[in-house]
Amino acid sequence: MQRQPGRMGPPGGNRHMPPSKPPSVKNWGKTLAGIWSYLSNYKGLLALILLMVLLSSGLGLLGPYLVGVSVDRFIGTTEYSGLIMLIVLLGLVYLGHSASTWLQNFWMIGIAQRTIYQMRTDLFRHLQRLPLSFFNKRQHGEIMSRLTNDIENVSQTLNSSFIQLFSSVLTFVGMITIMILLSPLLTLITLTIVPLMFLGMKWITSRTSKYFKEQQRNLGEMNGFVEETFSGQRVIKSYSQEAKVVEEFKERNARLKQSGYWAQVYSGFIPKLMNTLNNFSFTMIAAAGGLLAINDLITVGVIVTFAEYARQFTRPLNDLANQFNTFLSAVAGAERVFEVMEEPEEELDEREAKEMPAIRGEIEFSQVSFSYTKEGQQISELSFHVKPGEMVALVGATGAGKSTVIQLLSRFYEIDSGRILIDGHNIQQIKRQSLRSQMGFVLQDSFLFQGSIRENIRYGRLDATDEEIEQAARLANAHSFIMKLPQQYETLLDQDGSGISQGQKQLLSIARAILADPAILILDEATSSIDTITELKIQEALGRLMKDRTSIVIAHRLNTIQKADQILVLEDGRLLEKGNHEELIRQKGFYYGLYHSQFKSEAAAQA
């Protein structure tokens, strides 16, 4: 099995982590405009935050300058008049720096969380309005990644990187400006570490990038292997292969350890490089500054100021490199989110659509053709008519178009040509929600939500009372097994209903459909993979459910559809045969052969 590499970032959020290759952004202007459409709701607060960033950056630069002034004015002259005032001023500067930093972070976190809340809500609401074809064309994990990882990237950037980026730029520009005003020569000496830092970072990142990529790949392979073994525990234990999978895990774990070791070793050189360059810069400033001070070209206070700035000089540069990549990652994530938000919603073509009146159940397909792709047709000029209250069965080999007929009737997909009528109304002129609200579905894979059994049944009709829910469960033959559960109707089901059998899930799905009381009922392999006794219960429940309502049934077990009013035999999207069970047996066509081959197979299995 081929596994997708997992995602992995630097451990511990190391600020000295070498910047990885930034993600690509297709349309900067459009994406930034989309982000601003959310942030623009807080223009006043953003202006205050920008003011606080300017204030904190300015105060951060003013502190070292005042220290230099105090050295020249008081320590060098042994004149202490005004020293207390300068110390108080210096304390106020650092206190103001801390307060402005705290305020800007506090306000920005509030804006970020409100923005991300609204963005995530908008995306989730939009996903609920997209057609089913959108989800069928994309991996669910990829859609989940946009709702979680990509929005989280935006969140992290707005929370901290957004402010840090501006603060680093202002600090670096302000620091260079003050240093040039104080001493151009010492500024030039300080700047000599920039090319050294660039060359050193390039040497380190050229080696770490390879190992971090390998670490990502190895982690992804190991995660995929762990997921596979957890999913396949029954097979592993059945064949006693525990020792084998442990050895395979150890091999993958060893590769991850090796790549992770060298990645961390090389990335660990970065803080060492920064400290070395800082010390080198400090030494150069002390030596050159001392010579300049001896010749009365600068004061000792200027040397102290430069030493303090030199100690902080690499910080904004390193922050800029890290935060810029984080910013790019957030913009790329936002672009992926906005791409989904731009997908057309189902309701966009329903401006002229009407509400569906109460359905009697008459269905007509007239020369309907449809294809999922441009390569070939899935349904070709299909025509049939269903009277109200009839049971119609769809039969055919896999890929014949049975499920596609249901998808088109439900308007999960739009037909290419022809017409589909319900009670004489063209469904393309009917609002989808109005149509689907009068249809009920019992599918092969019955899906249950995490929550109580009562709430899962109530999903069929949210305003149903507890008594109506229990009555639906009785009609579905589900009440007896529900009452045997520890908390009965309040029993909590795990995700997808794990904890009860497949047959019991199906009975709950039928109870949900009974509660919805649909005019048209769709059964797609509702008794597939069910034992005989449970199948009898389900068939009895389905009999109650289908009474006096139009039903369309897909079934591989032909003995379950012998009482159908019509059986439509499909082949390659075309109607091959039509009639009831007795008529099709007399024709001795495709259905006749299929029925007898299945009957013989079941007889042989029972023997």
| In the predicted structure, residue 185 carries a pLDDT above the cut 50 | yes
Residue pair 361/517 in contact (Cβ under 8 Å)? The answer is: no
CA–CA separation, 410 and 430 (whole Å): 11
Most confident of 309-313, 522-526, 569-573, 602-606: 569-573
Average pLDDT over residues 84-96: 84
Q: Who's near 580: CB < 8 A, 6+ residues apart?
A: 564, 565, 566, 567
Are 535 and 477 spatial neighbours (Cβ–Cβ below 8 Å)? no
b/e code 463-496 from CB counts within 10 Å (16+ = b): ebeeebbbbbbbbbbbbebbeebeeebeeebeee
Whether residue 6 has pLDDT greater than 60? no
Q: How far apart are CA 275 and CA 310, in angstroms?
A: 11
296 within 8 A of 209, measured Cβ to Cβ: no
- Quick check: 354 and 47 in contact, CB under 8 A? no
The two structure tokens encoding residue 269: 């050189």
- Name residue, tokens 């009452």: 483
In tens, the pLDDT along 347-359 reads: 655 667 788 888 8
Q: What is the DSSP letter of 345?
A: P
Give exposure, 383-419, as e/b (b: 16+ Cβ within 10 Å): ebebeebbbbbbbbeeebbbbbbbbbbbbbbebeebe
Q: What is the pLDDT of residue 398?
A: 77
- The residues near 223 (Cβ < 8 Å, ≥ 6 apart) are 3, 6
| pLDDT of 474 | 84
Q: What φ, ψ does residue 362 adopt, rounded to 5°?
A: -80, 130
Q: Give dist(CA 545, CA 553) in Å, integer.
A: 12
Closest among 409, 377, 358, 373 to 524, alpha carbons compared: 409
Mean pLDDT of the chain: 77
* CA 535 – CA 193 distance, rounded (Å): 79
- Interior CA angle at 187 toward 176 and 182, to 5°? 75
Packed helices 28-39 and 83-128: angle between N→C axes, nearest 10 degrees: 110
Measured between alpha carbons, how far is 112 from 124 in angstroms, rounded to an integer?
18
Q: Has residue 106 got a pLDDT over 70?
A: yes
Indicate whether 527 pLDDT > 70. Answer: no
Per-residue pLDDT band at 603 (split at 50, 70, 90): very low
**pLDDT tens-digit series, residues 203-245:** 776 666 677 667 767 777 787 788 778 777 777 777 677 888 8
Q: What pLDDT is recorded for position 10?
A: 34
Q: Are 548 and 387 in contact (CB under 8 A)?
A: no
What burial letters (b/e) apply to 92-112, b meaning 16+ CB within 10 Å?
Answer: ebeebbeebbebbbebbeebb
Taking each helix axis from N to C terminus, what angle separates 83-128 and 162-182, rounded to the nearest 10 degrees?
A: 150
**Which residues, 6+ apart, have CB-to-CB distance to 161 below 8 Å?**
323, 326, 327, 330
| Structure confidence at residue 586 as a pLDDT band (50, 70, 90) | confident
- Are the CB atoms for 162 and 153 separated by under 8 Å? no
Cα 472 to the center of its chain, rounded Å: 36
Q: How many helices (H) and strands (E) does the chain have?
A: 22, 12
Q: At 463, is the secondary structure helix, strand, or coil?
A: coil
Q: Which of the 8 DSSP states describes residue 556?
A: S
Examine the pLDDT at 72 and tell me if it is beyond 80.
no
What is the value of pTM for the model shown? 0.65
CA distances 284 to 4, 59, 113, 524, Å, are 50, 26, 46, 80
Reference 597, options 403, 399, 395, 402; nearest CA is 395
Q: Which of 435, 390, 388 is nearest to 408 (CA)?
A: 435
What pLDDT does residue 9 have?
A: 35
Cα separation, 20 vs 208, in Å, equals: 9
CA pair distance 555, 562, nearest whole angstrom: 11
* AA identity, residue 354: K
Nearest to 52 by CA among 116, 112, 91, 108: 108
**Lowest-confidence segment of 202-211, 283-292, 475-484 by average pLDDT:** 202-211
Where does 83-142 show beta strands of DSSP type E? none
Helix H, strand E, coil C: the string for 4-69 is CCCCCCCHHHCCCCCCCCCCCCCCHHHHHHHHHHHHHHHHHHHHHHHHHHHHHHHHHHHHHHHHHH
Rounded to whole angstroms, the Cα distance separating 32 from 23 reads 15
Instruction: Select from 441, 475, 477 the least CA-distant residue to 459.
Output: 441
Please give the helix or strand (H or E) that residue 265 lies within, else none.
Answer: helix 242-267
**Measured CA distances, 97 to 91, 105, 166, 449 (Å):** 10, 12, 15, 51
Q: Which residue has the tokens 């989904």?
A: 340
The one-letter amino acid code at 254 reads A
Does residue 291 have a pLDDT over 70?
yes
Scan for tokens 């259905």, then name that residue: 591
DSSP 442: E
Q: What is the mean pLDDT of residues 12-33?
A: 57
pLDDT more than 90, % of the chain: 0
